[in-house]
Amino acid sequence: MADVRIQGVTKSFGDTVAINDLDLAIKDGEFVVLLGPTGAGKTTTLRLIAGLERPDSGTIHIGGHDATTLSPAERDTAFVFQQYSLYPHLSVFDNLAFPLRSPARRFPEEAVRRRVEDVARMVRIDHKLDNRSTKLSGGEMQRVAIGRALVRKPAIYLMDEPLSSLDAKLRADLRLELKRIQSELGATMLYVTHDQIEAMTMADRIGILADGVLVQIGTPRAIYSEPANLHVAARLGQPAINLLPAGLLPDGGAPTGTKTIGARTEHLAIEKATNGHADGVVDWVEHLGDQNHLHVTVGTKKLVTLTDPDTPLAKGDKVAIRYIAPLYFGSDGQRLM
């Protein structure tokens, strides 16, 4: 495996700047997730590292070597796409073996067999090696696609939303499998997604991209607890962070210049109003089994928070609300504290 270092990389398509002066360092054996909406520059970043696109400026180093002008074949990367991209006329075994039989490698067939069987066991598809890929389920096809990347032992694995086309149960299962495999191999992996749960559960570090700019990078806990700005704060958290205007609720701890207060569930204390004082009214309570979503109107604003399933609050109840160490943002959207 290898480290990857991107320095000052910019890439435009016509008048559209897809990546703007990107600096990103991925350590050997690290699992980094790029999180952002469609058009943020996530896939372009992968394609630049793979050599499928050339940067307009800047450099890309893989394993300490300048790969900026190298062809894709010379970069020793493996790319897993959103779609499975399997060869339908080949068996699972032959799909997995395909990279090892390419003219650039041509491993001995005994070595191919051993490596394919090892990887098939790793991705838990060894019982399907003789099947055609067209006979597999969606989850099985994606296991083969991931296995085909693993079989080569590249310097870095590049994964472009590989689980997005699967249903929720399969995504959860393969998410755990992929993290297990990465940990076992000590693989360097750059993974792209717009799914915050994938990012939070899989990443050693998360990079937040917006309009081609790397806004913030850090551990999942740091990104969640210490977002650099409103955009980052809104990317993580379920339910989404409540962004409320300063002064809507009493708060003596707001620093000078506070424009917006960010309040997640852990930043809010809500109870039934007493003594005639009420800050808001419960709109409705969503019962989700092990927890509830509590929807509250405060003035002209609405907020959502989690509560215990046995909460005594119901629709129409007047409630008192107080902040518990929320996040503060200035007029420019940057976090103040």
The mean pLDDT of 85-98, rounded to a whole number, is 92
φ, ψ for residue 4, nearest 5 deg: -130, 135
Distance CA 335, CA 257 (A): 11
Amino acid at 227: P
Q: What is the pLDDT of residues 16-34, one digit of tens each?
A: 999 999 999 999 999 999 9
Element (H, E) at 116: helix 109-122
Q: Domain 242-329: which topology?
A: OB fold (Dihydrolipoamide Acetyltransferase, E2P) (2.40.50)
Identify which has the larger pLDDT, 50 or 277.
50
* 4-230 and 242-329: identical CATH topology: no
Check residue 277 and give its pLDDT: 87
Distance CA 309, CA 286 (A): 9
Check residue 165 and give its pLDDT: 78
Q: Please report, for residues 41, 142, 267, 276, the alpha-carbon distance to residue 270 in angstroms, rounded to integers and kept in the order given.
A: 39, 44, 10, 15
What residues does each domain of the chain span?
4-230, 242-329
Q: What is the pLDDT of residues 143-183, one digit of tens each?
A: 898 899 989 888 899 999 988 877 888 888 888 888 988 99
Q: What is the pLDDT of residues 319-329, one digit of tens each?
A: 999 999 999 99
For residue 334, what is the DSSP state?
B
Q: Judging by beta carbons within 10 Å of its beta carbon (0-12, 13-18, 19+), is residue 167 exposed, middle or buried?
A: exposed
Neighbouring C-beta atoms of residue 284, cutoff 10 Å? 12
Check residue 201 and give its pLDDT: 94
Distance CA 25, CA 27 (A): 6
CB 188 within 8 Å of CB 159: no
Q: Please report, for residues 271, 283, 287, 296, the alpha-carbon distance to residue 313 in angstroms, rounded to integers and kept in the order given.
A: 8, 10, 12, 11
Q: What is the pLDDT of residues 270-283, one digit of tens each?
A: 999 988 889 999 99
Residue 104: pLDDT band (50, 70, 90) is confident
Check residue 233 and give its pLDDT: 97
The mean pLDDT of 38-46, rounded to a whole number, is 96
Q: Check whether the bond before 239 is cis (ω within 30° of 0).
A: yes
- Apex 253 CA angle, 264 and 335, nearest 5: 55
HEC string of 178-246 equals HHHHHHHHCCCEEEEECCHHHHHHHCCEEEEEECCEEEEEECHHHHHHCCCEHHHHHHCCCCCCEEEEC
CATH code linked to domain 4-230: 3.40.50.300
Q: What is the pLDDT of residues 120-145, one digit of tens each?
A: 998 889 999 999 988 998 888 888 98
Check residue 102 and give its pLDDT: 81
For the packed helices 168-185 and 138-150, what is the interaxial angle rounded to 10 degrees?
20
Q: What is the pLDDT of residues 198-248, one digit of tens each?
A: 999 999 999 999 999 999 999 999 999 999 999 999 999 999 999 999 999
Check residue 271 and give its pLDDT: 94
Work out the mean pLDDT of the chain and round it to a whole number: 93
Check residue 178 and give its pLDDT: 87
